[in-house]
A and B are shown apart, each in its own frame.
Chain A
Amino acid sequence: MSRLCHDSGENAYEEVAVIGNGAYGTVWKARDLKNEGQFVAMKKIRIQNTEEGMPMSAIREISLLRQLEGHEHPNIDLMLQLLSGVDFLHSNRIVHRDLKPQNILVTSQGRLKLADFGLARVYGFQMALTQVVVTLWYRAPEVILQAQYATPVDMWSCGCIFAELYIRRPLFCGQSDIDQLIKIFEMLGRPLEVDWPENVSLPWSSFKAFPSQQLTKYIPEIEPIAKDLLEKLLKFNPHQRISAKNALHHQYFRDEIDDIQTSSPSSVLECNSSDGRSDKPVSK
Chain B
Amino acid sequence: MSKTFEQDNEERDARTSFNGLSEFDEGICLDNELLKVGTPDVTAITNTLGDSGFTETLNLQCLEYILDLPEKNPCYKPFHDSLDPLSCPFKSPDHSGFEEYMDDIYRHRLSIEVKYQALSCLDNQPEVTPGIRGVLIGWLSNLHHEMKLGQDTLYLAVNIIDRVLDIMQVARDCLQLLGVTALLIACKQEEIAPPLISEILHKCGENFPPEQVKQLEKIVLMSINFDLMPPNSQQFLEYFYTYFMASSVHHVDYKFGQAHALARCVIELSMQDYELCQFRPSLLALCIWKECVQLMGLDDGNFFPPGMNFFKEQYEYCLAEVKVFVTNLKRSWPDMLSMTDYYTSLYGLEN
Contact = CB atoms under 8 A, between A and B. Distances in A.
B197 interface: yes
Instruction: Output the residue of A63, A152, A243, A280 with the most chain B CB within 10 A.
Output: A63
B97 interface: yes
Mostly helix, strand, loop or mixed at chain A's interface? loop
B282 to A, nearest CB: 15
B189 A63 contact: yes
Interface string A65-85: 011000000000000000000
A283 B242 CA distance: 9
Given A67-B227, A279-B247, A245 B217 contact: no
A59 B217 CA distance: 11
A91 B95 CA distance: 11
A282 interface: yes
Contacts of B218: 53-54
A125 B232 CA distance: 13
A282 B99 contact: yes
Interface string B78-112: 00000000000011011111111111110010000
A190 to B, nearest CB: 25
Contacts of B17: none
Contacts of A122: 189-190, 229
A53 B245 CA distance: 43
A92 B184 CA distance: 23
Nearest to A128: B192
Interface in A212-245: 243, 245
A267 to B, nearest CB: 14
A67 B156 CA distance: 15
B75 interface: no
Nearest to B240: A281
A125 B97 contact: no
Contact of B242 (A123, A245, A281): A281
Contact of A56 (B99, B188, B221): B188
B197 A53 contact: yes
A148 to B, nearest CB: 8
Contacts of B99: 282, 284
A59 B226 contact: yes
A125 B197 contact: no
A281 B243 contact: yes
Given A56-B188, A93-B98, A122-B229, A127 B349 contact: yes
A151 B246 contact: no
Interface string A85-110: 00000111100000000000000000
Given A66-B226, A127-B349, A280 B103 contact: yes
Contacts of B150: 124-126
Interface residues of A, number: 42
A95 to B, nearest CB: 8
Interface in A130-163: 130, 149-152
B298 to A, nearest CB: 19
Nearest to B217: A53
Interface string B245-278: 1110000000000000000000000000000000
B188 A60 contact: yes
B190 A124 contact: yes
A277 interface: yes
A59 B104 CA distance: 25
Nearest to B221: A54
A63 B226 contact: yes
B103 A277 contact: yes
B96 A282 contact: no
B337 interface: no
Given A91-B104, A279-B306, A59 B185 contact: yes
A6 B222 contact: yes
A125 B194 contact: no
A129 interface: yes
Nearest to A148: B97
A175 interface: no
Given A53-B214, A93-B105, A282-B246, A59 B98 contact: no
Contacts of B217: 53-54
Nearest to A65: B226
Contacts of B104: 91
Interface string A261-284: 000000000000000010111111
Interface string B224-247: 011111000000000000111111
Contacts of A127: 93, 96-97, 349
Contacts of A128: 192
B203 to A, nearest CB: 15
A283 B94 contact: no
Interface of A: 4, 6, 49, 51-54, 56, 59-60, 62-64, 66-67, 90-93, 122-130, 149-152, 243, 245-246, 277, 279-284
25 contacts: A49-B214, A53-B184, A54-B188, A59-B188, A59-B228, A64-B229, A66-B228, A93-B105, A123-B94, A123-B96, A125-B152, A125-B347, A126-B150, A127-B349, A129-B192, A150-B96, A243-B100, A277-B103, A279-B306, A280-B246, A281-B244, A281-B246, A282-B99, A282-B242, A283-B90
Given A59-B185, A281-B102, 7 more contacts: A53-B214, A91-B105, A124-B152, A124-B153, A126-B150, A243-B100, A281-B246
Interface of B: 90-91, 93-105, 108, 150-153, 184-185, 188-192, 194, 196-197, 210, 213-214, 217-218, 221-222, 225-229, 242-247, 306, 346-347, 349
Report the 10 A-B pairs with minimum CB-CB distance, sorted nearest first.
A150-B97, A281-B243, A91-B104, A63-B228, A281-B246, A53-B214, A62-B226, A56-B188, A124-B152, A282-B99
